[in-house]
Amino acid sequence: MAKKPWGGRFQGGTEQEVEAFTSSLDFDRRLYLQDIAGSQAHARMLARQGIIAPEEAEAIVRGLEEIRAEIEAGEFGWDPALEDVHMAVESRLTHKVGEVGRKLHTARSRNDQVALDVRLFLAGEVEGLVADLTELRRAGARLARRHLGVLMPGYTHLQRAQPVLFSHHLLAYDEMWRRDQARLNESLARIRVSPLGAAALAGTTFPIDPQFSAEQVGFPEVFRNSMDAVSDRDFLLEFLAHASIIMVHLSRLAEELVLWSASEFGFVELPDAYATGSSIMPQKKNPDVPELIRGKCGRVCGNLTGLLMTCKGLPLTYNRDLQEDKEPLFDTLDTVKAAVRLATGLLGHLTIRPEGMRAALTGGFLTATDMADYLAAKGVPFRSAHEMVGRTVRQAEAQKKELWELSLEEIREFAPQTEPDLFDWLKVENSVARRTSPGGTAPVRVAEVLARVEEELEL
């Protein structure tokens, strides 16, 4: 069994169950690159400040470089007795370069070390996720471009409400994804703060230069309070919250894809490569991918809640509870990245059924608001116009007719101000075309927004 780096004050070994319970090696080895980069930065700082000799720092940096190669080649022996990635790497370092390896931990603690590792790791992942979201937005924008002009019912309360452009509906998601990207980008400023130099909690007696360490790892900012630096996990809570919002957005889209692909709607057909069959019902094509995107939303939101609970009530400063931050982080990242990529694939290969959308535009009096607008434009107070149209709708419904199938005389019974041009207003195309207000669904407005989105996405 490996000797524990903290073994000095202990007599006898650790209970095996305790070792298994406290070890984070199985998951935190994922941080090896960041751990090595952080240690190299620290060693260089120590040498620059005259705390260790330049040759010592060089030996450490080189040794760590070799360890990186060993890990990447799958030759690194991860000893479970070594508790975590920090001790596994450091112990291997000492094994390779000798006594000088034992100087690396001068003026440092695993508390500032692990905080740095996670921050470095997350910064890279956040940048990757922003890029993945760009691909998702591109798939959405391409789909919107391809079907510009297709009409569908817009819904409120899942009841058909007013005709809209399919592209308008789709571009609503682009707004969500653009905000998701903005949130992630803004959070980078708080992630990229180096805690290195906080040491265990109180700082150190050595003449360190935390600014230099931060520059070495490419972080623009340095902690201001050592106690906060080792105990702060806000940046992770924030990320989990942002990830939860991303999943909520994807889950809403997924829900619509599930609905739209059902024969009750018949608005879209899911790509075969993204659907699955039933083991008993040969005719089935199931929307498992959107269903799982929707389902995994719960898991990501659960990770946020879990870490909030872990952090609540923790006294300052570092507590081992904080080791519980990594699994929800990794799980969230894996889940969100997969969900974003799969949503990208779904949109990229989705078949649109304009005739299904068109069929849903009849039967629901979707242009009733247009008739009310028509009367209001003629000077009828909108509330009165609303009531007149309501009565007209009731009449049409009783006769099992569309509004435009009533005669002018019949309509005039309820709305005497009506002229023959009303029938123009009742057409779904015209209803959409007239909604030219800013951000509205008129083709001219949607085309403007789409052009701006395409420019942002370099399409």
What positions carry a catalytic annotation?
157, 278
Is residue 117 exposed (0-12), middle (13-18) or buried (19+ Cβ within 10 Å)?
buried
Q: Which is nearer to ligand ARG, 28 or 125 (CB)?
A: 28
84 binds ligand ARG (CB under 6 A): yes
Q: Amino acid letter at 302?
A: G
Give yes or no for a contact between 6 and 86, defined as CB atoms under 8 angstroms apart.
no
Out of 39, 91, 94, 111, the only residue in the binding site for ligand ARG (CB under 6 A) is: 111
Interaction residues for ligand ARG, span 150-209 (CB under 6 A): none
Residue 106 C-beta: closest distance to ligand ARG, Å: 17
114 binds ligand ARG (CB under 6 A): yes
Is residue 149 exposed (0-12), middle (13-18) or buried (19+ Cβ within 10 Å)?
middle
Distance of CA 161 to the CA centre of its chain: 30
Tokens of 13: 């070994």
Interaction residues for ligand ARG, span 17-76 (CB under 6 A): 24, 28
Judged by DSSP in three states, 154 sits in strand
Residue 38 C-beta: closest distance to ligand ARG, Å: 12
Helical pair 110-146 and 166-191, crossing angle rounded to 10 deg:
160
333 binds ligand ARG (CB under 6 A): no
Out of 42, 105, 110, 296, the only residue in the binding site for ligand ARG (CB under 6 A) is: 110
431 binds ligand ARG (CB under 6 A): no
Which residues, at least 6 apart from 20, have a Cβ–Cβ distance to it below 8 Å?
80
Q: Which is nearer to ligand ARG, 51 or 322 (CB)?
A: 322
Q: Which is nearer to ligand ARG, 114 or 372 (CB)?
A: 114
Distances (CA, A) of 318 to 204, 330, 418: 16, 20, 74
Q: Which is nearer to ligand ARG, 328 or 443 (CB)?
A: 328
In this chain, which stretch among 52-60, 106-114, 122-130, 418-426 interacts with ligand ARG, using CB under 6 A? 106-114
Tokens of 216: 């070495």
Is the bond preceding residue 317 a cis peptide, omega within 30 degrees?
yes
Out of 32, 121, 212, 318, the only residue in the binding site for ligand ARG (CB under 6 A) is: 318
Among candidates 326, 129, 324, 325, which has minimal Cα distance to 243?
Answer: 129
In this chain, which stretch among 72-80, 236-244, 269-277, 320-328 interacts with ligand ARG, using CB under 6 A? 320-328
Among candidates 261, 289, 258, which has minimal Cα distance to 273?
Answer: 289
Q: Which is nearer to ligand ARG, 318 or 365 (CB)?
A: 318
Dihedral over Cα of 190, 194, 198, 201: its sign: positive
In this chain, which stretch among 110-118, 190-198, 250-258, 404-412 interacts with ligand ARG, using CB under 6 A? 110-118
Among candidates 5, 75, 63, which has minimal Cα distance to 36?
Answer: 63
Out of 261, 317, 323, 431, the only residue in the binding site for ligand ARG (CB under 6 A) is: 323
Residue 233 C-beta: closest distance to ligand ARG, Å: 10
322 binds ligand ARG (CB under 6 A): yes
Pairing of strands 221-222, 268-269: unpaired
In this chain, which stretch among 245-253, 285-293, 314-322, 445-453 interacts with ligand ARG, using CB under 6 A? 314-322
Residue 110 C-beta: closest distance to ligand ARG, Å: 4
Q: Which is nearer to ligand ARG, 323 or 335 (CB)?
A: 323
Helical pair 85-97 and 32-48, crossing angle rounded to 10 deg:
60
Q: Which is nearer to ligand ARG, 111 or 162 (CB)?
A: 111
Query: Which conformational region is residue 303 in: left (phi greater than 0), alpha (psi within -120 to 50 degrees), or beta?
Result: alpha
Can you give the binding site for ligand ARG, defined by CB under 6 A? 24, 28, 84, 110-111, 114, 318, 320, 322-323
